[in-house]
A and B are shown apart, each in its own frame.
Chain A
Amino acid sequence: MHIPDGFIAPQVYGPAYGAAGVLWAVGLRRLRRRLDPAAVPRLAVATAAAFALMMVSLPLPGGTTVHVSGVGMVAVLFGVWQAFLALSLVYLLQAFMLGTGGVTALPVNALAMGLGGSLAAVGALRLLGRGRVGLFLAGWFGTVVPAVIVAFVLGLQPLVARAADGTPLFFPFGWAVTLPAVVIPHLAVGVADGVLAVLAWRILAPQEEP
């Protein structure tokens, strides 16, 4: 689900930076106002944990491998705000340390995965509890909801940025293409994320209790 630079029009990444910027500022202020001295170190390691979780890859039938998104797990473990900031930091560091990821796509990724995915995952968990179903759906929604948002944003491009002759200036396909092309594979990837969340929790849970 990595959107490269060049697919998103300024009409979209501009406002996306605006929205994400406000949320980043609010998140960082919340972090500072909490008088918990561990808050900043916790966010730093949450970022590293999110980074490591994203590197976990699983084989799909047919011989390809897929990286899990890890969004659901990060959100369940660290909460929506921390997850949003941590995932945003991962995209920022990936862009700078590896030169990948793309700065025009960064706010879209941060909002889609960091915010949309985290909210969906934590919502699923609140609704269904920390049982197997709740954890699975947290992992699944944490992957699928961002895919829907990314598909929506990509499909928006030909509507908002067109040349004088009506041809698209950025990503050329509308929703009729992006929704099935992006979302359907992620319905399957989400299963991997969900199962992973359930299994990892089974390892972690016995140690959570005093």
Chain B
Amino acid sequence: MRDRALLLGYLAAVVTATLVHDPRVLGAGAVLVLLSAGRDLPRLLRRLLRATLPVVLAVSLGYVVAARDDLATAGAVLLRLDLRVLLLVGLALRVLPAVNLQRALGFSDSLRFLLVLATSQVLAFGRLFADFRHALDARTPARVGPPTALRHGAATAAWFVRRAEHDAAAMTQALDARGLFLDRD
């Protein structure tokens, strides 16, 4: 229940934040989200900046250059836009990791089942992938050039595809052995 309520609350906040256009309201919302982090504020700020800064800067600078004849209007447009981005991305970083997706979307058994399987596989693949990157790092004295990187990328991609096929077969056998397909012919 908690997860579904959290998710619905988050979605309502997102929709509201895209329907309201007053920069004071958007700014107040962003400040609220930031303050709600409490002691985690520096971490949240860091992640927020890392997620938004490059694209927000590129868009903002581009817009200032394009609208240099009327900087006041450009400033108002950018204030509204950037505060909205901050609010929405902050909200996502703050709320979504706390939501248990499997429980929030638990209205369908097969969807929940799919999410559990996919999440565990994604986490496992993420850890395995880190090893591939580390191994290349450990074996190279300097940044590798494009030919090596491509060869490494292709071998990595192929390995994960094969691993995926293998895991799918193993998972199906395990589910079968546990009686999951008994109701099917």
Contact = CB atoms under 8 A, between A and B. Distances in A.
The answer to A–B direct touch (Cβ < 8 A) is yes
Interface of A: 2, 4-7, 9-10, 13, 28, 32, 35, 37-38, 40-49, 51-53, 55-59, 61, 68, 70, 73, 77, 89-90, 92-93, 95-104, 163, 165, 167-173, 177, 192, 195-196, 199-200, 202-204, 207
B181 A37 contact: yes
B135 interface: no
Nearest to B10: A103
B21 interface: yes
Given A38-B169, A44-B171, A70-B157, 19 more contacts: A6-B17, A6-B18, A7-B81, A10-B18, A38-B168, A41-B167, A41-B172, A45-B121, A45-B165, A52-B157, A59-B149, A68-B153, A73-B157, A89-B114, A93-B118, A99-B94, A101-B92, A171-B81, A199-B153
Nearest to A199: B154
Given A28-B110, A99-B92, A170 B81 contact: yes
Contacts of B181: 37
B149 A58 contact: yes
B89 interface: yes
23 contacts: A4-B88, A5-B89, A28-B114, A35-B184, A37-B172, A41-B167, A41-B175, A42-B172, A45-B164, A45-B165, A48-B121, A48-B122, A51-B122, A58-B146, A59-B149, A68-B153, A73-B161, A92-B101, A96-B97, A173-B63, A177-B66, A200-B154, A200-B157
B160 A40 contact: no
A93 B100 CA distance: 11
B125 A32 contact: no
A53 B160 contact: yes
A70 B158 CA distance: 12
A104 B18 contact: yes
B162 interface: yes
Nearest to B148: A59
A59 B143 contact: yes
Contacts of A46: 164, 168
A59 B151 contact: no
Contacts of B146: 58-59, 61
Interface in B117-141: 117-119, 121-122, 124-126, 128-129
B121 A47 contact: yes
Contact of A10 (B15, B86, B125): B15
B52 A172 contact: no
Nearest to B78: A172
Contacts of B143: 59
A97 B110 contact: no
B110 A207 contact: no
A32 B150 contact: no
B145 to A, nearest CB: 7
Interface in B74-126: 76-78, 80-81, 84-89, 91-94, 96-97, 99, 101, 110-111, 113-115, 117-119, 121-122, 124-126
Contacts of B172: 37-38, 41-42
A95 B92 CA distance: 8
A192 B114 CA distance: 31
Contact of B59 (A28, A43, A47, A172): A172
Contacts of A13: 18
Given A5-B89, A89-B118, A167-B76, A52 B155 contact: no
B147 to A, nearest CB: 10
Residue from the set B91, B125, B157, B162 with the largest chain A CB neighbour count within 10 Å: B157
A58 B99 contact: no
A10 B19 contact: yes
Residue from the set A38, A40, A59 with the largest chain B CB neighbour count within 10 Å: A40
